[in-house]
Chains A and B, each alone.
Chain A
Amino acid sequence: DAGVIQSPRHEVTEMGQEVTLRCKPISGHNSLFWYRQTMMRGLELLIYFNNNVPIDDSGMPEDRFSAKMPNASFSTLKIQPSEPRDSAVYFCASTPSTSGGSYEQYFGPGTRLTVT
């Protein structure tokens, strides 16, 4: 299996621009998670989906952030407009529907976002 795929791997953009991050989960996985990682705040859960439906978006920092999962094989995280404080590494992770009762997560390689 190819694992969780994220694109782009690196993104540099100017403040005020729209940024779209993309994720393809592992085939057959029913849950998808978006995380943000920074030195100051560590790993933060932004939002997660189960069967393409958003379950908990309480970690989304503000209205500038939005996420969609139009089908089981694709999700996007959009930031509009972007700000320098959004600079971070964004990870996507997916979880199989059953894994012996324990829900281990499979992480993608991340997208390093720099907003100047």
Chain B
Amino acid sequence: EVQLVESGGGLVQPGGSLRLSCAASGFTFSSYEMNWVRQAPGKGLEWVSYISSTGATIYYADSVKGRFTISRDNAKNSLYLQMNSLRAEDTAVYYCARKYYYDSSGSYFDYWGQGTLVTVSS
């Protein structure tokens, strides 16, 4: 059974840092591209970042570029999100999501974790 379990969320002051982790199991983690998606309280989904299966290709949403760093450790079946210079508007539930290709170019998020809450407040 595919499982994605996020951890590392919590309360942090503005300007602070936090590192999120996503532990993957039930599939060959090193074969899949992964993403982080967040959802502010009462708001919609916002894509945050993408990483290729090897880690060679990375993309970020404009709202986090330069402050967040996505990474992965395929030996540990884990995905990470290092979040620096945190702002109140970064307050959200952060989900890791697996990218699944249904054809040569089309893909969607087929498995999501349950999310971890990050609260940025003084």
- Is B a genuine binding partner of A? no
Interface of B with A (CB < 8 Å)? none
Interface of A with B (CB < 8 Å)? none
